[in-house]
Structure 1
Amino acid sequence: MPELFYIYVLESLSSNKRYVGMTIDINRRLKEHNAGKSKFTNAFKPWKIIYSETANSRKSARGREKYLKSAAGRRFLKNIFSLND
């Protein structure tokens, strides 16, 4: 069975920050962010997952992560979040 990669968006519960990342274990990674094991996210914890999607390869996951961090990707996410309000 092929390994799945998760592309995720976190939202800080203590500030108006979002973080985009990728992992093979989304639950472990969220725990790491909330335990302060990531330099950027440590200052704004706690975090919650507000969006995720999967990819079948590391290469496609990295590409999608890069897209979501771009201006076009941020607009895409903004549209998704505004639909959920």
Structure 2
Amino acid sequence: MGLHYVYIIYSESFDRFYVGETVDVAGRIRQHNTGFYEGSSTKYANDWSLYLSIRCENRIQALKLERFIKQMKSRKFINKLKEDSELVNSLLKRFSE
């Protein structure tokens, strides 16, 4: 299993963040902006841009980190992740196998 990324995108028109995981961040953002995911909350906007990308060791770590960030349900927490690389590193350690 190769590298995976947890990505956080932001839509100015929708004023929302979205958290996901992928092996191809740029490709995934393109998909969100073209309505590829019909059932997703991202379908309501087409101006999603990358806010933060976090490199993970594998998909399992990425899924654990993605779930944790989503459970926080907090803009403050997402902003803190962008500002504080030590917080990101400690979470990556916590969710490593």
Quickly name the TM-score band, shorter chain normalised.
0.7 to 0.9
Matched, 1:35 2:29: no
Preserved CA contact (<8 Å) 1:14 1:44: yes
The answer for the alignment partner of 1:45 in structure 2 is 46
The answer for the alignment partner of 1:54 in structure 2 is 55
Write the distance in 1 (CA, Å) between the matches of 2:73 and 2:48.
24
The structure-2 alpha-carbon separation of the partners of 1:22 and 1:71, relative to structure 1 and needing over 3 Å to count, comes to same
- Alpha-carbon RMSD across the aligned residues, in angstroms, is 2.2
Write the distance in 2 (CA, Å) between the matches of 1:42 and 1:5.
23
Deviations 1:45-66, CA, capped at 9 Å, x for gaps: 2100001101111110000001
Please report how far the alpha carbon of residue 79 of structure 1 lies from its aligned counterpart in structure 2 after TM superposition.
2.3
The answer for the alignment partner of 2:4 in structure 1 is 5
**TM-score scaled by structure 1?**
0.82
Three-state SS of the structure 1 residue aligned to 2:2 is coil
The answer for the alignment partner of 1:65 in structure 2 is 66
Gaps of 5+ in 1: none
Q: Percent identity among equivalent residues?
A: 28
The structure-2 alpha-carbon separation of the partners of 1:75 and 1:31, relative to structure 1 and needing over 3 Å to count, comes to same
- Which stretch of structure 1 is more off in the superposition, 30-39 or 67-76? 67-76
What is the aligned length?
Answer: 82
Preserved CA contact (<8 Å) 2:8 2:19: yes
Gaps of 5+ in 2: 85-97
Three-state SS of the structure 2 residue aligned to 1:21 is strand
**TM-score scaled by structure 2?**
0.73
